[in-house]
Chain A
Amino acid sequence: DAGVTQSPTHLIKTRGQHVTLRCSPISGHKSVSWYQQVLGQGPQFIFQYYEKEERGRGNFPDRFSARQFPNYSSELNVNALLLGDSALYLCASRTSGGGETQYFGPGTRLLVL
């Protein structure tokens, strides 16, 4: 079975640009969460979506937004990129909105110059 997939694997942008990261959950999983992991630190929760509705938002500015599609895939959008947005962006999926273990994808490495 395919795990959580993310695209692209690596990305280089410049300050002020916009970026869209994509995530496909494990088949049958309806919940997707997004995390930001800065080098040397643990993942920080950004968003959770379940059944196409936002279920939770971490302490991130409004430059960060996300959505979930009818097929349960998800996009994370970041506007007006800052150097500090350079990080590994992780997507995790699970069957429902709470209780079960979440499964992480390999992440997208974003570098902002």
Chain B
Amino acid sequence: LAKTTQPISMDSYEGQEVNITCSHNNIATNDYITWYQQFPSQGPRFIIQGYKTKVTNEVASLFIPADRKSSTLSLPRVSLSDTAVYYCLVGDIDNTNAGKSTFGDGTTLTVKP
């Protein structure tokens, strides 16, 4: 499985756009990129998943360059409630969504007023 590297922590302020980048140099052809959000003492929550270019949903956008060796999760206009740990996972879609992929240590995002 492709190893991922994320910043340990990031700080932001309410209303700002936050971009969290994940490096996955050894991503395989069949691998998808998936991001989860986790609040303290809760299970992770699926945010977004993509294979290439750009994916957007109601909460975030995912940007994936052509070489797919990195990806960027973009959170528009964050609020205090977006303070959480964000995990980037890379793996075959079946394995990733079946729970067989490995979470890294994630990025702790702190949103300040």
Main secondary structure of the interface of B (DSSP, over half): loop
The bracket for how many chain B residues form the interface is: 20 to 34
Q: A42-B103, A42-B104, A44-B103 are in contact. Are A94 and B98 (CB under 8 A)?
A: yes
State the CA gap A92–B98 with chains docked (Å): 9
* Cβ of B95 under 8 Å from chain A: yes
Q: Decide: A56 and B98 in contact? CB cutoff 8 A.
A: yes
| B43:A90 contact, CB within 8 angstroms | yes
B93: Cβ under 8 A from any A Cβ: yes
B43 engages A106 (CB within 8 Å):
yes
B97-A101 in contact (CB<8A): yes
User: CB of A104 within 8 A of chain B?
Assistant: yes
- Within residues 32 to 50 of chain A, which ones have a CB less than 8 A from any CB in chain B? 33-35, 40-45, 48, 50
Contact B99 A35 (CB under 8 A): yes
Given A90-B43, A97-B94, A107-B43, residue A102 in contact with residue B102 (CB < 8 A)? no
